Amino acid sequence: MPDRRDLVAEAKACIGFYTRLPISAEVDSFAAAQWAAPVAGVVVGLVSGLVLLAGLWAGVPVPVAAAIALGASMLLTGALHEDGLADLADGFGGGKSRDEKLAIMRDSRIGTYGVLALGITLLVRWTALSALAAHGGGTAVLGLVAAHAASRALMPLFMQRVPPAREDGLSAGTGRIEGQTAFAALLIGLVLLILMGPGVAVLAAVLLALWFWILERLCRHQIGGQTGDVLGALQQGGEAAVLVTASAMLA
């Protein structure tokens, strides 16, 4: 077992990387620290949930409070994963060859496909969160924490299974993910899903697995591997899947 100080440092490294919080730590291997990706998701979900509760307590209409909560999560992460989703949509939708798709994904400008992808996912997440918040603030907070954690829990396994599509970039620079690291991240995500109830956990896990499989096949076919943008899209789709499942079964 790793030393507890190492685990704390790895958790801090992941939180500092996946959010804009002024937290950092030196770790021997950032790849080994990826078990804590869902821990960073817990932090994002809690902050977003507290903003939602503050809005509800202040008497803000539920849809407005849900929109502000989503905005808080994007502010906290610097829209890291939303940017990845938009880049992937532009590259896969607008590029003709592998190299052209990768070039478009690296371009900082956003195109029609990216705008549409962001619009759809934002609308889905906002609608689902509004339904949860109408059912109860506590339920919505739990849903946000589970959604952010479980969606990020998929990323280490994806990096382990799918090779980098390019030799440089954030994903390639992370290094090789070991099986125990991916398993630990999945376990954390599963535990948080179970807190929402066995029914929600089972259905959400099925949807997350389906989304994982679809995106893996898609990125292997389109660009021959994964990039940081692919991982961002993986998180966004996973977050939406959990929120939709929770809103359908709990609200």
pLDDT at residue 193, rounded to an integer: 97
Compute CA distances 138 → 37, 85, 217, 245, whole Å. Answer: 23, 29, 37, 16
pLDDT at residue 92, rounded to an integer: 95
pLDDT at residue 175, rounded to an integer: 75
The string of pLDDT tens digits covering residues 174-209 is 778 999 999 999 999 999 999 999 999 999 999 999
User: Is 31:158 a contact under the CB 8 Å cutoff?
Assistant: no
Percent of the chain with pLDDT over 90: 87
Q: Average pLDDT, stretch 74-102? A: 95
User: Is 200:53 a contact under the CB 8 Å cutoff?
Assistant: no
One-character DSSP codes across 19-33: S-SS-----S-TTGG
Question: Coil, helix or strand for 61?
Answer: coil
pTM recorded for the entire structure: 0.94
Residue keyed to tokens 């939303």: 82
Compute CA distances 250 → 5, 45, 145, 191, 245, whole Å. Answer: 38, 18, 15, 18, 8
pLDDT at residue 1, rounded to an integer: 54
CA 17, CA 13: separation in Å to the nearest integer?
6
Half-sphere exposure at residue 102, Cβ-oriented, CA atoms within 13 angstroms: 18
Q: How far apart are the first and last CA of the chain?
A: 41
Is the per-residue pLDDT at 171 higher than 90?
no
Percent of the chain with pLDDT over 70: 96
pLDDT at residue 250, rounded to an integer: 84
User: Is 86:115 a contact under the CB 8 Å cutoff?
Assistant: yes
The string of pLDDT tens digits covering residues 116-170 is 999 999 999 999 999 999 989 999 999 999 999 999 999 999 999 999 998 776 6
